Every structure is written in structure tokens, then in C-alpha cells.
Amino acid sequence: MVVVIVVFEVVVVATIVLLAWLLGKGSPHRARTTSLGVALAAAAFVATGVLGIASINYRWPVGWIAAVVVAVVVLVGLFVLLGRDIGWTAARVLGLVGLLALGSLAFGTIMTGGVGASRLQQLYATRASQIAEANGFVALMPRDVQLPTDMLPVEALPDGGLMLSYNGFEMQERKELATITEGDLRQIVAPGATPIRDVVVPGDARVTTLTVNGLPAVAVEFDYAPGGSVMKEGPKATKTTMLVTVLDGVEVRFWSVGGERLVDSGWEPFGALSPAELAGLAESMEPVE
């Protein structure tokens, strides 16, 4: 994978240099224009990175705000300077836009293609910590489980909670406002309740009582389809598992849904995690530092 990314990045850089050279051909300051074209793509790379990383923060620190402003000012300045050098014809402006797009693409490939995955995990953890801190609790994350990098998997909930979307399961965290007993946990996943994403627990849900680090946990299993009915085609959910528990003063809710996913040219079924597997994830939870 790394080799593919490196090769792709080399192709992108070569394309940037070629496009900058072509734009410089029509300029009286050919060498300077070509250099500015490469600089514009580099500025787009940096601006995309700074803005992308800053936007992951739930609350932007002053330093990141300043960095975004500087990056955007430099980018706009180079764009205007190059436009004056080569003229504001439609074709040449399109070339400038192409340089911006290539610079942004280069950064996006590095971050989401695996090379920057470890850095993204750190940024996601920071965002989770910021959301939790704003709502009066400490964020918890399962040990050695990576968040997906093709989406923003850390979100704030309207009721003051935190949502983490992993591959195969989702979890929500909220501050424990009062001591929650096993009976309270059962009420959270009782028939008719909507513990997560407005998914209604049916009356025939199978209830399992477990322990997580010596504390009570309650899980339910049932069949569920989006919209309340089985879809005739496309991905359809089948088995669903939910687990609720309390860890270090934080109410934690897990949700795992089985279904079908498109693989090559066909649909492949996948299963929901079992109550025991969700309990294992809960036991591995650690405070975000």
C-alpha cells in the first residue's frame, strides 16, 4: 500500500511540475512563473493539511486559527500573483485551479491512504477528549482498535454525549449524572426504548447480563432492518447487538449491526459482534490522555 501511495505521489508531483511549466511558457517571466506554479501547488498542499487537521479539533486553539489564516493568505497571494503573470484567460485560470487541486490531492492521499493514519488516530483522540471535557467527563476508547480514516468518526451528540464510529460497531458515551444500577441499565435497553440512533428495541429482544471489570452490563440482541422493514435489495441489517454499562463515571453504549456489504460484484453477509465481544471491548477501554 505504501509503495502505491509513493508512486501515486510521484506522479502527482510530476504532473504539478509539467502543468507549472506549461503555464510558464506563455509568461514573459517563464522561470519565475514555473517556480510560482510549483509553489502554488505546495501552498495548496500545506493549506489543505493545516485546514484539514485544524477542522478535526472540536475547539480550535488560537495557534491553529492563526496557521489557517496565514496558509490561506499565502495561497490567495500566490494565486493572484500567478494570475497576473500569465493573464486571466479561462484556460490559464483552469490551469491554476488544477495546481490547487493537485496540491490538495497530494495531501489527502498521504493522510487517508495509510501513511498519515497514526497521526489521524491521535487527532481523533484529541477531538474525543475535547468533546468529553466540554461535557464534564473523560473520554474512553478501546485499546488497539483503530478508527476509520475515510470519514470523521468522532462526533458530539446533542445531549452532551460523544459518539465514536468504528468499523463493525459504534459507541456513545455520556457523563453518569447519578449512580446507575443494573436495573437502570435494563431500562435503557428495555422494549420500546431507543438507546442509540432512534433504533427501537423490540419486545422479543434477547437480554444478557454480563460484567465488565466487575461492574454490571446489560446486552440485548434482536433482528433489525433500517426503516423497520427488510430491504429488497442493497445492504440490509440483520442481527443487532447493544450493550450498556458504566465505566469510570461514564455511561457507555455499544451498538453493532450485521448485514450485507458489497464485495466485488456481489453482496457478502457479515455478522454483528456478540455481547461477549462487546463486553471485551468495554473491558479494554482506556481514558484518552
**210-258 pLDDT tens trace:** 999 999 999 999 987 655 443 334 445 478 999 999 999 999 999 998 8
Give the lowest-confidence range in 81-95, 103-117, 149-163.
Answer: 103-117
Confidence band of 1 (pLDDT split at 50, 70, 90): low
At residue 28, the pLDDT reads 80
Asked if 205 and 211 touch (Cβ cutoff 8 Å), the reply is: no
| Predicted local confidence at residue 27, as pLDDT | 78
Between 55 and 228, name the one with better pLDDT: 55
pLDDT digits (tens, 9 = 90+) for 256-287: 988 776 677 777 777 899 999 999 999 999 99
**Percent with pLDDT over 90 in the chain:** 67
Residue 119 has pLDDT above 90, yes or no: no
- Residue range 197-220: mean pLDDT, rounded: 94
Q: What is the mean pLDDT of residues 55-80?
A: 93
- The mean per-residue pLDDT over the stretch 112-120 comes to 70
pTM of the model: 0.80
Residues 6 or more apart whose Cβ sits within 8 Å of residue 94: none
Which carries the bigger pLDDT value, residue 188 or residue 109? 188
pLDDT tops 60 at residue 38? yes
Confidence of residue 25 (pLDDT cuts 50, 70, 90): confident
* Ranges of CATH 3.40.1000 domains, the chain: 149-287
* DSSP track, the chain: -HHHHHHHHHHHHHHHHHHHHHHHHTSTTHHHHHHHHHHHHHHHHHHHHHHHHHHHSSS--HHHHHHHHHHHHHHHHHHHHHHHHH---HHHHHHHHHHHHHHHHHHHHHHHSSTTHHHHHHHHHHHHHHHHHHTTS--EEETT-PPPSSS--EEE-TTS-EEEEETTEEEEEEE--S---HHHHHHHTSTT---STTPPPPTTPEEEEEEETTEEEEEEEEE--GGGS--SSS----EEEEEEEEETTEEEEEEEE-EEEEETTEEEEEPPPPHHHHHHHHHTEEE--
Question: What is the pLDDT, as a whole number, of residue 113?
Answer: 63
Assign 57 a pLDDT band (cuts: 50, 70, 90). Answer: very high
Q: Which CATH class is domain 149-287?
A: alpha beta
Question: Does 161 have pLDDT greater than 90?
Answer: yes
